[in-house]
Chains A and B, each alone.
Chain A
Amino acid sequence: MGKWMNRQSLVTILGVLLIYGIVQGSIFMDVMPPFVALTLIQICIYVILSSSLNLINGITGQFSIGHAGFMAIGGYFAAIVIVKFHGPLVLALLVGAIVSAVAGFLIGLPTLRLNGDYLAIATLGLGEIVRIIFLNTEYVGGASGFSVPKTINWTWAFGLTVLSILVMRNFINSTHGRACISVRENEIAADAMGINTTKYKIIAFTLGAFFAGLAGGIYANYMYIIQPMTFSFLKSFDILVMVVLGGLGSLTGSIVGAIVMTVASAALAGLPEWRLVITAVLLVAMMIFRPTGLLGTKEFSLSFLGKKGDKNAASKN
C-alpha cells in the first residue's frame, strides 16, 4: 500500500479533512456568517466547473466556451427529478450529470470536427440554445424560474467537489489523460503515434460535460430557485476566466482560479458597478505579466514535503 500512502498524499488528505472540519465545526457552532457559507458553497461549485472546463480547454486543447449550457442541463434535470418525481438527491445529481454528459457526447460528435475559433463559436451558440430551450419550456417554469427545495449542505458540496477533483486527477494522470494532452500538444503527431484523437476529444468533452452537469445539480439544489438567465454566456465566460487565470492545463490552477475569482467577486459585492471593471483590470494585467496563468501548465505540488513525489503522477507537466 506504499503507492497510496506517501507523505504528500497524507498531507493532502489531512489538509482536506482540516478544511472540512473547520468549516463544518463553525457551521455546527453557528458562528459562520451566512454570507461566508454561501461563498464557500459557490467556491465548491465553481471549482468543479472550472476544473471540468480545464479538462476540455486546457488538457485537450479544444476551446469550448459553452460550459454554462451543460451546467443548465445538469441543474434543470436534477431539479426535475427532485421536484416532479420526488427522487432522492443522489439520484437527482446523477441524472443531471448523466443527461449533461449525453448531451456533451451528442454535441461533441459534430462540433469537435471544428477547431480553434470555429469550435468556440459553435459551443457558445450551443450554450445559448440550451438556455433558450429552458426559457421557453413551461414545464420547468420558463423565464420566472424553477423552485427547488434546498437539500445541499456544506458536507455534500465539499464531498462532491473532492470526489470530482479526484476522478479528474486520476484521469489526467493516466495514459488516457496523456492521450488527451498529446492532442493538445500536436494533433498530427498524436494521430501518427496511434492516438485516436477524435475519440479522446469526445471523451474529454463528455467528461467535462458530466462534471459541469454535476455542478449544475449542486447549484440547483442549493439556491432555492434556478432561472435561465443564470446560465447565460456570461456564466460561461466567468468559468473560462477562472481556467485561464489559474493556467490552462493545470488542475490545481483551476482550483486556485475558481477560489480567487469567487472570493474576489464576493469581496466586491458591495460595489457591483466596479466588480467587472476590477476583474477586467486584473485580467489585463495578468495577460501582460503572466500570460500562461497563475500556474501555467504546472501543478501545485507539495513535493517539498517529501523526498520524492508521487511517482505515478506521471505527467507533471
Chain B
Amino acid sequence: MPLLKIENLSKSFGGLKAVSNLNIEINDKELIGLIGPNGAGKTTVFNLLTGVYDKSEGNITFGDKNLSGLKPYQVTHRGMARTFQNIRLFSDLSVIDNVKIAYHQRTSYSMASAIFRLPGYYSGEAEMERKALELLKIFHLEDKAQETAKNLPYGEQRRLEIARALATEPKLLLLDEPAAGMNPQETQDLMNLIRWIREQFKLAILLIEHDMSLVMGVCERIYVLDYGMIIAQGAPDEIKSNPKVIEAYLGEEVV
C-alpha cells in the first residue's frame, strides 16, 4: 500500500484551475521529484497536501487515513512535514528554540507541570534539549545553537529549516525548492544530505526543484507538472527524453 495516494485532486481559484485531476502515489522511503515550469502549480500541490488550501475535488490518503478537512498542524501530526520555498524560520529566536518548537507536538508536558515546575517539566525540557542538540549536530549546527536564526548564512538557514521539519518526526518530508539560491557545490552537498536523511530517518521525500542536476541526480521517480496537470512521470532518464517535457520547458520547435 502506498504511503501517500493522491487521487483526482483538483483546485480552482475562481475560474483558474491551478491543479486538475492530479494523481500521485508515493511509497515508503521513496524519493520523488515534482518538477515543472514556473506557475505550473507545484507549490499549490504542497499547500493542498498540508491543508493550507482546501481542495476543490479529489482525495488525499496518507497512511490509511483520509486527510480531508484537516488543518496544517493536524496534517503535521499525522506525519507530514514541509519546508517553504521562501524560508520561514522563527527568525528572532535561537537556532535551538526553532527546533524545540517543532518537538512540541511529540514531546510535550502539561501546562500545569510548566507553571508549577513539576518533575514533568524538567524531564520534558531535558529530553527536548537533548533531541534538539542531537538533530543540530547531524546538520552541523550545534555550535550555533544559541545563535539567532536570522543571523545564519543562507545555506545554514535552509539546513535549519530541514532540521526543524525533521523534528516533527515525519514519515513524509516535503521540500519546496531546497536548492534555491545555492551554488553548485552547496547543491551537491544538499543532494548527499537528502539521500542521507532518507536512509537515516527512514522516510519518504517529495521535493519540488528547478535545479535539474539535483532532481535528476537524487530522485527515483519524477512527476512533471504543467498547467496544473501531470504531463509525464517516470524514472529520470525517461523524463529527460520525454518530448512533452522538453516542450513544456523549451517550447515547441518551429519548423
Q: Which residues of A contact B (CB under 8 A)?
A: 3, 167, 170-171, 174-179, 181-182, 185-186, 188-197, 203, 297, 312, 314-315, 317
Contacts and interface: CB of A to CB of B under 8 A. Distances in A.
Contacts of B94: 315, 317
B88 A194 contact: no
Contact of A185 (B91, B102, B116): B91
B72 A176 contact: no
B22 interface: no
A170 B101 CA distance: 16
A175 B109 contact: yes
Nearest to B113: A174
B73 A197 contact: yes
Interface in B119-139: 121-122, 124-125, 128-129
Contacts of A317: 92-94, 97
Given A176-B114, A181-B101, A191-B73, 6 more contacts: A174-B121, A175-B104, A175-B114, A175-B124, A182-B101, A189-B89
B108 interface: yes
Contact of A195 (B104, B121, B167): B104
Contacts of A3: 122
A189 B84 contact: yes
B82 A181 contact: no
A296 B28 CA distance: 46
Interface of B: 50, 52, 71-73, 76-77, 81-82, 84, 88-94, 97, 100-109, 111, 114-117, 121-122, 124-125, 128-129, 164-165, 167-168
B108 to A, nearest CB: 6
B168 A193 contact: yes
A312 B50 CA distance: 33
Contacts of B97: 178, 181, 314-315, 317
19 contacts: A3-B122, A170-B114, A174-B114, A174-B121, A175-B109, A178-B101, A179-B104, A185-B90, A185-B91, A186-B91, A189-B84, A189-B90, A192-B50, A193-B73, A193-B76, A193-B164, A312-B121, A314-B129, A317-B94
Main secondary structure of the interface of A (DSSP, over half): helix
Contacts of A179: 101, 104
A111 B168 CA distance: 29
Nearest to A249: B92
B108 A175 contact: yes
Nearest to A190: B101
A171 B115 contact: yes
B119 to A, nearest CB: 10
Contacts of A175: 100-101, 103-104, 107-109, 114, 124-125, 128
B81 A192 contact: yes
A185 B94 CA distance: 12
Contacts of A182: 90, 93, 101
A9 B108 CA distance: 25
Contacts of A192: 50, 72-73, 76, 81-82, 84, 88
B125 A312 contact: yes
Nearest to A169: B115
A71 B180 CA distance: 50
In the A-B complex, list the 3 residue pairs whose CB atoms are closest, starting with the nearest.
A174-B114, A194-B105, A185-B90
Given A170-B114, A170-B115, A185 B105 contact: no
A189 B108 CA distance: 18
B90 A195 contact: no
Contacts of A167: 115
A195 B73 contact: yes
A182 B89 CA distance: 9
Contact of A171 (B76, B103, B111, B125): B111
Contacts of B168: 193-194
B100 A314 contact: yes
A189 B93 CA distance: 13
A44 B121 CA distance: 29
